[in-house]
Each structure stands twice: as structure tokens, then as C-alpha cells.
Chains A and B, each alone.
Chain A
Amino acid sequence: MKRKRLLSILLALSLAASLTACGGSGESSAPAVDGESAAPAESSGEPILIGTISPNTGNLAAYGTAVTTGAALAVEEINAAGGLLGRQLEIINADDQYDPTECLNAFNSLVSQGVGLIVGSVTSGCTSAITGAANEEEVCLITPTSTADSITTEDDFVFRSCYADSFQGAIAAAYAKQAGYDKVGMVYCAADTYSKGLYDSFSAACETYGVEVAAVESTASMDVQDYTNQFAAMVNAGVQFVYAPFYYDVIGPYLVTQARAAGYTGVIMGADGYDTTPDYVVDGADLTAFNNVYWTNHYDPADTSEKSVAFVSAYEAKYGNTPSAFAALAYDCVMMYKAAIEAAGSADPVEVRDTLAADGVVYDCITGTYSLDETGTPVKGASIIAFEAGTGADGKPAVVSKLLDVVTELPQA
């Protein structure tokens, strides 16, 4: 009996140890960053705390990694240049697991640690759970990637570094019109804030541009693994352009290949959720399926502007891969805080908020040079990017991205 117990304890421990090993290798970048940013502050005064909230585990963990690394890179650069107002920056990462309840917990935990400036959260569904709390606690919130329109409209302390869905969906509709598609279809998830928001703006813009929405299909949730029926309906409706706002975790493995298998050969258009899709394509999948897949993004990693090149090379040097738009937007969030703190001459959340809300401040960032509109949303353009079967950096066949177009303003109807 005793020996059995001992054995089971040992087994449990060895399991734990093996997990530690995986954990260590998989996430090695994030803790290392923590260590560096927490290095002893040479400048006087306490460090300025910046919190990040992102889905570091769960289905959308790639977004979490991108946001934490992007923000950490910005903080490191600022600290290396002597910090802000003579103080160093310190970053505290919190995980929301892509769950609204956990997001609120993470927010409360950060605020109780004295954080007044927060970058996050990533998904619109999670961010909407903390915007009210940010207002009540008078904590600044800049979300890197929550594009739902309603995120910034209600609450004074909430800003973002990305464009809103009403712009993003309209860009896609304008592209459909411009490319000569008069009849389009939509596959979306009615339950999700992000997908529904894009659905609304895309269908509204279609009406404006005189594009007929011939078929609409909805899925039960954002992580459904079967899209065959939806795309069969698209084929039946005879559309050659389908707008499908989902996240990368289903686009890569399921949606595109299943759409092609269902006989759909036309264009699949998506939004910024398609970022990092090439990393999630199943080995051995038919890569030509990804031809004719387009999506709107916040920036293009191949951008040749000086700032962008510097960011991409610094990021690649540090983390060994090309930064996604999410990393760039998180980097921009920290840079917006930097500009606001310098302009306000203080890191007090209320003063920073007043500076962010002031008119006419121009932020020169990776994802564009922009100012914020009255709701706190940047006025900037979008890149339209296409996937195609090609050769990856390692010489193997892979899905690669190609910049199609940069749209700075919506065309007239």
C-alpha cells in the first residue's frame, strides 16, 4: 500500500517535471522579457507600471505571445533610452485565457498591484468585460486589437491603437466592389462580438456600395471545426466572394480547406483575425487552397518605412520570427503611452487619459501615423493582404502573405 502511494507520488512528480520541461521551452521568451524589464532601475523614482492583459493560454495563445512580446520590446527600447520622466518602465503580464470573467479578474489583479496604464485586452469580447471597470477605477486602457465599434464609444478611459470594425468591414466591401463582385456571401458567428461587428459593418457597406449579399450563414461559436455546410450553401447561392470573419485558429486548419472541399472556389475574404494563419496550416494540407484568400490587416511586415523596418529587425533579432500585426499594435500602444506621458509630464492615469483624449495629437507609430478621433479610435488606413501557396523562409512549401493594396480612405459609393 505504502509503496503504491510512493509510486503514485513519483509518477505525479515526474509528470509535473516533464510538463515543466515543455513549459520552459515553449514560453521561454516571455519570462525572460520579464526578467530584463524588471532590471534594477538606474534612474531615480519608482518604475512606471504598465500592465498587459492578453490570452496567453487557450485557443488564442498566439495573440497573447504577440502582444506580450511586442509590448516588452517597446518597454525595453524606452528603458534603454533612459526611461520616461527619469523613471524606468516595468511591465506586468496578466492572462485572460480568452474568457471575459478571467479578463475581469486579471484587470482587478493588475489594478490592485498599482497599475494605472493597461495594454489590453486582445479580443473584443474580453475587452468589453473590462471597459466599464476601467472607467470606474479611472485606469487607462489602450487595447491593441479590439476592433468592435462599441469598445471605445461608451467609456472615457478606453482607447485603441487599431482601427474599428466599421472601417475594417467597409474596406472589405469596397474591395469586393472594386474587384467586380456584385453578389457576395457571408459566413460568420452571431455569438461573437468581433464576428458580429464585422458582419454588421460589411453588410451595411455592401448596401452603400450596391453589392448584393446573396447568402448568409452563421456558426454556433468561434471555434467550430466544421464549415462544410456553410460553404455548401455559398456554392448553392452561386457567390464567388465570401466574407468570413473568424480567428486564425480555425482559418488555418479548418475553414479554408473545408470550403475548397465543399466545392467553393471563389474568394474568401477575412479580417485581422487571419494574422498568423500560415503557422496553423496543417502539415500536408493542399496549400493551393489558400490561393484567393484575402484579408485586411493593420500593417504589412514588408513595409519599407524607416520605423517599420527598425521595428521588424529589432523584433526578429530578439524573438527570431516576423512580428504579427498584433505585436506591432501592442508596441504602438506602449508608444502611445510614451507620447502621452511625455506630453502630460506625469504618469498619473487621469492626466494620461486627458492627454490621450485631447484633440490633434499625432502619433507616429509602426502601424501608421495617426491621431485619435473623438471616440479614441485611430484614423488610419488598412493593408489588404493575400495568401498564396509559396515557399517559406526555411525553403519548404508554405502559405505566404503578399501585400495587395494599402487603403487609406474609404472610396465613395
Chain B
Amino acid sequence: MKQNKTMQGYLLNTVVIVVLFAAFQMLTAAYGGSGSFKLVIAPCLWQCCYLIILAASLNLVLGFLGQLSLGHCGFMAIGAYTAALLSLACERSEVFKNANDPVYLVIIFACILAAGVLSALVGLLVGIPALRLKGDYLAIITLGFGMIIVNIINNLPFCGQDGLALGSASASLYKNGLGFGSKSKVTFLWVALLTTIVCMTMMFMFIRSKYGRCIRAIRDDEIAASASGINTSFYKVMTFAYSAFFAGVAGALYACANATLSTSSFAFTNGGILNSTFIVVMVVLGGMGSLTGSVVAAVVMFLVNYQIKNGAWVALLPASVQGVFQYPMLVYAILLIIIIVFRPKGIFGAYEFSLRNLPADLKASRARKAAEKAERKEAGAHV
């Protein structure tokens, strides 16, 4: 029975995803060339894709393993530079000549995979010493790590100083390869979507496997978990590396979407929403321990950031509200305060959205609310 239900769930999800994906492909084919799709929707989808993967991957460490990591963008930087440099190397050694080359697709996926693998390796190296620490100490180590990565990249002659960070030459350096312009972003939109779907599936499978249950046990009580025979160090380091893998993949997508790299984009904080702090905020906002929550939070944060600066409707608002919107960072702060006041555990809490369980979840939620109401009434009657 249980097996059956799981199968049903997988089947349902697969069908829905395939239908959505196919529908999206058709939409892209129909409207791909036109202005607003090419200039607004496609770049936005690219950004959503890498933010989703990034937030979800951090959730593995922060929400499921319960360890605070403040250097997640460091892994992303590794991924981004790996992918960009690899594509540049392939182009220079004439493995492919232009984007129409059949090998080109293989190169794209090879770059994305290599980005993930290298990040995971670094994650392993960092994780082994760092995860001996807990809480604040681990946070400080990861924070330092993020800065170290950025500095190393800056000072490596082939990627920072003279490689990929010099003005518009940086755009042209790998623009024939992985750095997509507006048109290629539409053509290869499916790469971003497919990568995101595959990554999310892998993460879901991970948290539902025995590994997932083990790391949740570690989060809830490390001593009890260890007493039950769970090798806590192994699982911690493995989760850290697994999470780093996806951060690297997100970095590769970032490299594709932006066509130019500078390490300031991967700092602890910066002007935009892509930095280690904001990724933590996304995870907390979505709900620690809910992958679907991270997806929603990443999209929400992106849309809020994008809309208040570029949305046409902003011009219709009264001048006083526009005054606030001149300072996007304040709007996030207000939003964050409101959400945390009303939903202290984030938008989703630990709840996972699931198509199969949706009717049952709705029913349960309604029943719970009714019960609460009845209870309150009863309490009132007694007073």
C-alpha cells in the first residue's frame, strides 16, 4: 500500500512536470523571438532557476542538517568560474566552433557537471575540518571560507586578474561559449529548466532517503542520533559536499545567464540579492526544512527585488510608496519583518507541498482550523 502511494506520487509529479515542460517549450517556440519574452521573461527565468537551486541546496545544510553556513556563495563562485573557464578552454582548443556545433550541447552539460563536482570536492575539503565545529563557530568558519574563495579567485592569474574580470573583455572572453546573450538565453532556456528540475529531484530523493532521515535525526538530537549508530561526522560532511555540488551547478547557470563574472557578485553581502546573506534569508523565509518553501521563497525574493525596481506598475503607485521603493533594501526588511512576525517558521514551515497529498493536506488543515476554533470557543465559554 505504502509502496503504491509513493509510486502514485512519483507518477503524478513526473506527468505534471513533463506536461509543464512541454507546454513551456511550445510557449517558448511561439513567443521566443518577441521583445518582452526575450528581454524580460527569459532572463528572469534564468535568474529564478539559479536562485532556486542555490536556496534549496543551502536548505539541505541549514534546514535539514541544522548547521549554519554563511559562505554558500563561495561554492557558487567556484562553480561559475569553473564552468566559464572550461567553456573558454574548449573554445580555444577548438573542441567546438560555435553554438550550432553538435558538441556544444555536450560541452554545456559537461561544464555544469564539472562545476558541481569541483564545488563538491572543495565542499568536502572544507567540510572535514569545519564540521567538527558547531553553531556559531561553524558559521564563522564558513564565512571565512567564502571570503577566502573570493580572494583566491581574484588572485589566480587565469581567472581573476587577467582572466575573466576585465571589463567588457570578460564578456567577450567566453561569450561564444557558455556566456549567453539574449537570444541564446531563449534558445537554451530548457537547459536551465531541465537542470533545475533534475537538481530539485535529486535533492528531494536525498531528503527522503535513509540519508535524509539520518541528517534530520542529527539536526534534532546529535547525541541521540550518534547513540543510535549514525556516523554523524560522515553524514554531516556528505551533506555539506552534496549541498556544495548544487551550489556549483547554480554557479554554472549564473555564468551562463550573466556572460560576465566578477567576484563581487559572490560576496558575503553586496548591493543585489545574490550573496551569502540573502541566500540564508531565502531559506529562512521559505521555511527551514522545506525544499518547496525554498523554491517559493527564491522566486518571491527575486520577483520582489525585480519588480520594485523594474516593474511598470510602480509608476502607478502614490509618490510616498514610490519613495520607499527607491530603497529596495528597506522593502525587503519590511517584508521580512512582516513574514517573520506572522509566520515565525517561514512561509512553509517544515511543510512540503505535494501534488499527491494536496487534497489530504487541505482537508487536514481545514479540520485543524475547525478544531482550533471549537477549542477557543470552549475556552471562552469556561472563562
Contacts and interface: CB of A to CB of B under 8 A. Distances in A.
B354 interface: no
Interface string B157-196: 0001100011111111001000101110000000000000
Contacts of A191: 150, 154, 160, 165, 262-264
Indicate the size class of the contact surface on chain B. Answer: 35 or more
Interface stretch (B53-61, B207-215, B330-338): B330-338
A112 B42 CA distance: 12
A168 interface: no
Interface string B267-290: 100111010000000000000000
A128 B165 CA distance: 9
Interface in A19-52: 19-20, 23-24, 26-27, 30-31
B241 to A, nearest CB: 26
Contacts of B3: none
Given A12-B334, A57-B326, A109 B40 contact: yes
A98 B271 contact: yes
B273 to A, nearest CB: 8
Contacts of B165: 191, 193, 196
B151 A155 contact: no
A20 B323 CA distance: 6
Interface stretch (A130-138, A232-240, A262-270): A130-138
Interface stretch (A99-107, A309-317, A366-374, A379-387): A99-107
Contacts of B98: none
Given A133-B182, A136-B183, A197-B166, A101 B258 contact: yes
Given A191-B150, A196-B161, A220-B150, A128 B265 contact: no
Nearest to A222: B264
A154 B342 CA distance: 51
A108 B43 contact: yes
B271 A148 contact: no
B265 A101 contact: yes
A104 B180 CA distance: 12
Q: Chain B's interface: helix, strand, loop or mixed, by majority?
A: helix
A229 to B, nearest CB: 14
Contacts of A31: 319, 322-323, 326
A220 B151 contact: yes
Contacts of B341: 8, 12
User: Which residue among B35, B155, B310 has the maximum number of chain A CB atoms within 10 Å of its CB?
Assistant: B310
User: Which residue among B35, B47, B165, B264 has the maximum number of chain A CB atoms within 10 Å of its CB?
Assistant: B264
Nearest to A55: B271
B310 A57 contact: no
Given A57-B271, A109-B40, A112-B40, A23 B166 contact: no
B172 to A, nearest CB: 5
Contact of A20 (B258, B265, B321): B321
Interface string A191-222: 11100110000000000000000000010111
Contacts of A5: 342
A375 to B, nearest CB: 11
A155 B168 contact: yes
Contacts, number: 188
A70 interface: no
Contacts of B260: 100, 128-129, 132
A365 interface: no
A145 interface: no
Contacts of A23: 320, 323-327, 330
B166 A193 contact: yes
Contacts of A58: 271
A255 interface: no
Contacts of A15: 334, 337
B151 to A, nearest CB: 5
Contacts of B271: 55, 57-59, 97-99, 102
Contact of B168 (A97, A98, A131, A222): A131
Nearest to A25: B323
B115 to A, nearest CB: 18
Interface in A233-275: none
A387 B183 CA distance: 48
B309 A94 contact: yes
A108 B270 contact: no
B52 interface: no
Interface string B219-240: 0000000000000000000000
Contacts of A131: 168, 171
A88 to B, nearest CB: 18
A371 B324 CA distance: 42
A398 interface: no
Contacts of A124: 167
Contacts of A129: 171, 258-260
A149 B270 CA distance: 25
B154 A190 contact: yes
A291 interface: no
Contacts of B183: 136
A5 B342 CA distance: 8
B36 interface: yes
Interface in A48-72: 55-59
Contacts of B147: 220
Interface of A: 5, 8, 12, 15-16, 19-20, 23-24, 26-27, 30-31, 55-59, 94-95, 97-102, 104-106, 108-109, 111-113, 124-125, 127-129, 131-133, 136-137, 148-155, 158, 190-193, 196-197, 218, 220-222
| Pairs A-B, 4 closest by C-beta atoms | A150-B167, A23-B323, A97-B271, A99-B272
24 contacts: A12-B341, A16-B324, A19-B334, A20-B321, A57-B271, A57-B327, A99-B274, A101-B258, A106-B309, A106-B310, A108-B182, A109-B40, A109-B309, A127-B167, A132-B171, A132-B175, A132-B179, A132-B260, A133-B181, A136-B182, A136-B183, A137-B39, A193-B165, A222-B264
Given A59-B271, A128-B168, A132-B179, 12 more contacts: A19-B327, A97-B271, A99-B265, A104-B43, A105-B43, A108-B39, A108-B182, A112-B35, A154-B171, A191-B165, A193-B170, A220-B150
